[in-house]
Amino acid sequence: MSSAATETTAKPTVTVLDYGSGNVRSAVRALERAGAEVTLSAKPEDVLTADGLVVPGVGAFGSVMAELKAVDALRMIGRRVAGGRPVLGICVGMQVLFEAGVEHGLQSEGMGEWPGTVELLPAEVVPHMGWNTVTAPEGSMLFEGVEAERFYFVHSYGVQKWDFEVLQPKMRPPMVTWSEHGAPFIAAVENGPLCATQFHPEKSGDAGARLLRNWVLSLSKSASTQAAH
């Protein structure tokens, strides 16, 4: 087989960031089923060179930030985003991409990739646990083919306001997907190489599997574009 054919059929490589977050095996298995070659690691060579990086997260915002800092993940995630290398955050792995999180009256600093504060959902029942619909924007890459489907959420906190300022006229603003529990909250963001979901695609049945396939397929396109340049 020629090297060109091998490159065409090679699976995209994905590293699931192993920084201490629990229950990551389901994400690894789901990504493998989506067509990726998956590594669970926090080694810089794995995090920085993979076609895609998945940042999972469960628990408290502040604790996840501390665990990410402990493995130098903030720098590595920043390097990937700056270089146009795809990153997907899941659940608290999405929340830490915002400016701050407030839990039990304590505010923790986030990564600041997007404006906004993660706050307690104003609902009669929290956590928001179970299946819910989303409102995806037209042209969404992640939600192609599953725009009307339901996804599985487990969280008490979320970003309820989006105030993103486009600084350059030619800059494409992020695509924001919303859901609702007590109030509207951000369910997903697509911002060039940086994507994230508040729900768990790996626990969202066929709809989540399709979303992960959409993301994994985008890695092949991203790698081809970078190779061309």
Active site residues: 91, 200, 202
- 127: cis peptide before it, omega within 30°? yes
Please give the order of strands across the beta sheet that includes 184-191. Answer: 37-41, 13-17, 52-55, 87-90, 194-197, 184-191, 175-180
Contacts of 69 (CB under 8 A, 6+ apart): none
Helices 61-70, 73-82: axis angle to 10 degrees equals 80
Task: Specify the amino acid at residue 94.
Answer: M
**Are 44 and 55 in contact, with CB atoms under 8 Å apart?**
no
**Are 96 and 57 in contact, with CB atoms under 8 Å apart?**
yes
- DSSP sequence for 59-84: S-HHHHHHHHHHTTHHHHHHHHHHTT
Helices (H), 118-204: none
Task: Specify the amino acid at residue 69.
Answer: K
